Amino acid sequence: MSIEFTTCQYAVDALDRLVWVDRWWLAFAKENDAGGLAESTVVGRPLWEFISDPATRDVYKEIHRYVRTAGLALVVPFRCDSPSMERRISLTVSSDGSGHVLYESILVRARRHRVSLLDPRLPRSQSELRMCSFCKRVQTDAGRWIEFDELDEQFPEAASPPFPQLTYRVCEDCFAEMRTVCGGYVGLASDRDSR
Ligand SMILES: [Zn+2]
């Protein structure tokens, strides 16, 4: 089932623990993770438990550092597709001065699609496919980042189960974008061996 939403909010405390999440965050997390989540089991847990890729965690940690020390809000373009919906989101991250960090996302564009590869409930093979956490493009063996539309041509194995396992990275373009929105402040570990 696809969840329609236009905004999503959550916040973390000075130690990056979730202090509250709204129902859309829970709905989205449920849609993208086969595990059951409820506000009572999420609040108090570090945000980092919900971000599996170390490089993606690093980006968010730098964003937290930036908004807390610079006191400025950041707007990050973001894509968070589900198996049935393409979603383009504008994510605003800000701090209230007490160390809390607030996330507010606004849905910029949505359209129906069918990308079974994104359905965590479907069987997986041992092979892996690298996906960017932010723009959701997939990396070819040659290092090129491609959109879902090109998947069938580049990765026939991604068209039917068992699907390759998705491992997350941050692509060069999204690293560059993050540097731009952070005004050059961000000292990202941009040359990780994972990229
Ligand atoms: Zn990207």
Q: Where are the domains of the chain?
A: 7-181
- Cα of 144 vs centre of ligand 1, distance in Å, is 11
At a CB cut-off of 8 Å and minimum separation 6, what does 55 contact?
133, 168, 169, 170, 189, 192, 194, 195
- Cα of 68 vs centre of ligand 1, distance in Å, is 24
Distance CA 105, CA 160 (A): 32
The torsion angles phi and psi of 58, rounded to 5 degrees, stand at -60, -40
Name 7's bridge partners. 106
- Cα of 132 vs centre of ligand 1, distance in Å, is 5
Angle at 78 between CA 72 and CA 80, to 5 degrees: 140
- Cα of 130 vs centre of ligand 1, distance in Å, is 11
Do residues 163 and 124 lie in contact, with contact meaning Cβ atoms separated by under 8 Å? Answer: yes
Distance CA 41, CA 16 (A): 16
Closest of 102, 32, 19 to residue 63, by C-alpha = 102
Sheet holding 124-132, edge to edge: 145-146, 138-139, 124-132, 163-169
- Cα of 21 vs centre of ligand 1, distance in Å, is 25
- Cα of 146 vs centre of ligand 1, distance in Å, is 10
Write out the CATH class of domain 7-181: alpha beta
Distance CA 110, CA 4 (A): 9
- Cα of 173 vs centre of ligand 1, distance in Å, is 6
- Cα of 135 vs centre of ligand 1, distance in Å, is 4
Overall pTM surpassing 0.85 (yes/no): no
What residues flank ion ligand 1 with Cβ within 5 A? 132, 134-135, 171, 174
Amino acid at site 88 = R
Which contiguous run of DSSP H or E holds residue 139? Answer: strand 138-139
- Cα of 142 vs centre of ligand 1, distance in Å, is 16
Task: Locate 35 and state its tokens.
Answer: 């595990």
- Cα of 41 vs centre of ligand 1, distance in Å, is 30
SS (H, E, C) 40-74: HHHCCCEHHHHCCCHHHHHHHHHHHHHHHHHCCCE
Q: Tens-digit pLDDT profile for the chain (195 aa)?
A: 344 455 678 899 999 999 988 876 776 666 555 456 777 788 899 999 888 788 888 888 989 988 998 888 888 888 888 888 898 988 899 998 899 999 998 889 999 988 888 888 899 999 999 999 889 999 998 899 999 878 888 888 888 889 999 888 889 999 888 877 776 555 544 434 343
